[in-house]
């Protein structure tokens, strides 16, 4: 079965998830589809105009320490970004335009690395362009596709689809009709994709 990876580039815990997913999915033979979306409209509908980690600073302080521990454990570089959250809009448009390209997961990983390990401003189209060039892609051609009205509309539709699916945070994973939220659920979601998840007997 396929695993759908729903992600917003501003999201902190999506960084380790995006870095871990390709190898874990490959090792298990699980196919991954990429579903970039935007959290801002979802947060706005809950009355939030900023990251919940900024709105609730006690939780925010914990999250940065927790993320640092997770990255240390995984051997992933991490640098507390000098600005947070950074808009993932331009990168999400590229990921939308490139969702079926063989290099999409490299692009996704590179954007997260830029944001959370290299302190680069991924909100700037110029930085997104640099990342594409570093990956050996034709940045101007891809950015033209990314900024086409069809792509913008597709990303808006994807965000509406996320809401309809009950998604409220990033990273989220969908396998069949099961939703999993958070880097901590990646292994569980992959197990469900292999048919070894246990459907609760409890009606919950």
Binding site for a copy of itself (CB under 8 A): 46, 56, 58-59, 61-62, 64-69, 71-73, 77-80, 166, 168-169, 178-182, 184-185, 188, 197-204
Q: Determine contact, residues 35/164, Cβ cutoff 8 Å.
A: no
Least distance from C-beta 168 to a copy of itself, angstroms? 5
User: Between residues 100 and 202, which has the closer beta carbon with respect to a copy of itself?
Assistant: 202
Min CB(106)–a copy of itself separation in Å: 23
Least separation in angstroms between CB 15 and a copy of itself: 12
Residue 64 Ramachandran class (φ > 0 left, ψ -120 to 50 alpha, else beta):
alpha
- In this structure, the number of other CB atoms found within 10 A of the CB of residue 58 comes to 8
Task: Give the start-end residues of each E strand in 27-164.
Answer: 31-36
Q: How far is the CB of 117 from a copy of itself (least distance, A)?
A: 9
- Sheet of 178-181: strand order equals 31-36, 2-7, 172-175, 178-181
Which residue number, 28 or 80, has a Cβ lying nearer to a copy of itself? 80
């Amino acid at each position: 079965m396929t695993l759908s990876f729903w992600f917003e580039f501003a999201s902190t815990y999506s960084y380790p998830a995006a870095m871990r997913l390709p190898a874990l999915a490959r090792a298990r033979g699980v196919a991954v589809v990429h579903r970039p979306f935007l959290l801002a409209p979802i947060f706005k509908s809950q009355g939030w105009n900023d990251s919940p980690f900024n709105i609730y600073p006690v939780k925010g302080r914990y999250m940065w320490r927790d993320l640092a521990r997770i990255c240390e454990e995984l051997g992933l570089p991490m640098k507390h970004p000098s600005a947070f959250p950074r808009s993932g809009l331009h990168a999400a448009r590229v990921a939308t335009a490139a969702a079926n390209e063989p290099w999409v997961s490299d692009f996704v990983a590179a954007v997260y690395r830029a944001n959370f390990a290299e302190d680069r401003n991924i909100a700037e189209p110029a930085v997104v362009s640099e990342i594409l060039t570093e990956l050996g892609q034709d940045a101007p051609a891809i950015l033209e596709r990314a900024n086409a009205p069809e792509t913008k509309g597709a990303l808006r539709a994807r965000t509406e689809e996320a809401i309809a699916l009950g998604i409220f945070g990033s990273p989220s994973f969908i396998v069949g009709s099961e939703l999993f939220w958070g880097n901590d659920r990646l292994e569980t979601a992959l197990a469900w994709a292999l048919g070894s998840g246990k459907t609760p007997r409890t009606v919950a």
